[in-house]
Amino acid sequence: MPTPYGSRGGMAFSAAELLVLRRSLAHALQSSTAPLTTAEVQDCLCLARSVDDAVEEAGRLREFLLADLARYRAALPGSLSGFLELLQDALAAGYEPVPDDLAALRALRANPVAAALLDRAQGVAERSVRRRLSTTPAPRTRLLALAGGKEDEPRTAPRKPQPERPQEPGQPKERPIPTPGEVFPPRRKPTPPPTAGRAVG
């Protein structure tokens, strides 16, 4: 079974496992489509399962390393040598230091090994930040305001005149709404009273 090799994600294979890998690669690269034998297929499946197990084991080893690093960091300054050694191994495995690591190294700058490791850790942290900023797209802002400082008001489409509903037979017709002139007719000027007949002189 392949085993994790070091903290960088490497693996160690036995001679038999390397033979299976070589045979599988040769079959994948050859131009003919001759199928593998049953024994060769079983060997490939067994090796694939072993590789999966080794990957999981490497993940567990990394978790143990980071847990030990946190314990040694919490026990500073008494665990100085162990903390520096574990942090060096973690950085070699691709670990990105957290702010607690940088703060601990700054407090230990009097130690030359800690000072050199601080410079290395700060460089790794800065590269990590630049990489995240370059890969994260900036959110696009919507331009809501037009020239003049007012938002564009949505235009409403003109309402279409609705067709009149047909009048059902036997139903009284609806009276139209009277106009103001019909409700309040104009007032007529009063006619003057008839004058009495003039006396004949």
Tens digit of pLDDT for each residue in 86-117?
A: 999 888 888 899 999 999 999 999 999 999 99
What is the average pLDDT across 133-147? Answer: 59
Q: Answer whether 0.75 is exceeded by the pTM.
A: no
User: How many other C-beta atoms lie within 10 A of the C-beta of residue 98?
Assistant: 15
Alpha helices in 30-156 (DSSP H): 38-74, 80-92, 99-107, 112-135
pLDDT > 90 in the chain, percent: 24
132-145 mean pLDDT: 62
pLDDT at 128: 86
- Average pLDDT (115-142) is 81
Residue 122: the pLDDT is: 92
CA 41 to each of CA 53, 90, 97: distance values in angstroms, whole numbers, following the listed order: 19, 38, 43
**pLDDT-derived band at 161, boundaries 50, 70, 90:** low
The alpha carbon of residue 109 and the mean position of all alpha carbons in its chain are separated, in whole angstroms, by: 38
The chain-wide mean pLDDT, for the chain, equals: 75
Over the stretch 26-85, which tens digit does the pLDDT of each residue have? 777 675 567 778 888 888 888 888 888 877 887 888 888 889 999 999 999 889 999 999
**SS3 of residue 11 by DSSP:** strand
Please give the average per-residue pLDDT across 112-136, as a whole number. Answer: 88
pLDDT for 196 beyond 70: no
